[in-house]
Every structure is written in structure tokens, then in C-alpha cells.
Amino acid sequence: MPVRYPHPPAEEYSDRYPNQSRSVTAALTIIAAVAVGISGAYADAALRPYVIVGDAIPASLTGAPGDPVRGKTIVSSRQTGLCLLCHSAPLPEEKFQGTIGPDLKGVGSRNTEGQLRLRIVDPRIFNPDTIMPAYYRRVGLTRVAPAFRGKTVLTAEEIEDVVAFLMTLRD
């Protein structure tokens, strides 16, 4: 049965997982602070509703496909997406790629657009133990600078652009 989210549920994950190790908690704090702190100013004023079906958000958040060229720019950016902080990708021109998250090489072959969209929108819906920040969520977040509270990291359009780019990454 599909689950409708006018916006993601508000809950405190630090209360939900009190036995996390300090290193995971520290990593979460750093990633969330950096991601929200740098990009929050560009976030959507109002979240667009979406429907989760199984392990995916099958429909575009905008009703239109994203632009893979803009998506690559977001993934590569050290100010907007910050994806390469944790992930490595087949982008040899980008130095100092992360190893905390899965390699993005071939991600478009392993996942559907909807699965990728859910993992970007709010990866905790798919994996409650992930340290990846929610890029399209405004409530229930902890340790967010006051200036960026109530804002998403990426807009719906930017998420669609990232999904379009990730779908080009095939083995």
C-alpha cells in the first residue's frame, strides 16, 4: 500500500537510536551540518507531496524529468550536493572522493529512478540506520543551525537533476 507524505514524518532519530556509537553520531552531525549549512539557502519554500510505493518514490517530485548535466554539477559540487564527501563516483576529474557511502559507479544499473529518488529525499525511510542526510526534509532534524531550520538541502528540481545524472551511471 502506498504511503503518502505531504512532508516526511517528524521524529528525533537521536532519541530513536540512543545506543549509536559516538563516531556514527559525530559523522551524522558533521554531514548534516555541512549539507544543511551550505545549501539550505536554496531550498524549497514548500515541500511538494510525494508517494512512497515499496522502496521507491516512483513519480517525479516536479512532474518533469531532471537534467543530468545539472545533476552532475550538483553531485560534483563541494557547496551544493556534497555527494563526493561520502561517495566515490566515476568522475576522475574530481579529487578526494569519499569512501563512507557506496560507490556511485553503476548506481543507475542497480536502482530504479524511484529508488534513487527515495534514497535522496529521505534515506532513513529506506534504511533507518543510515548516516546519509535527508536532502528533501525540513522537520525532525537535529543539530541544524538556526538560519537553516525549516529548509531542505536540495530543491525538488535539484533532486530530479541528481536522479537524472545518477541514472546515467551504468556499468
Number of CB atoms found within 10 A of residue 170's CB: 11
Measured CA to CA, the distance from residue 62 to residue 121 in angstroms comes to: 13
d(CA 66, CA 60) in angstroms, rounded, equals 9
**Ordered structural domains, the chain, with CATH:** 3-168 (1.10.760.10)
Sequential pLDDT tens for the chain (171 residues): 566 655 444 343 334 444 444 444 445 444 544 444 444 444 556 899 999 999 999 999 999 999 999 999 999 999 988 999 999 999 999 999 999 999 999 999 999 999 999 999 999 998 899 999 899 998 887 777 787 788 899 999 999 999 999 999 998
Query: In terms of C-beta density within 10 A (0-12 exposed, 13-18 middle, 19 or more buried), how is residue 98 classed?
Result: middle
- Grid coordinates representing 153? 538541502
The amino acid occupying position 107 is V
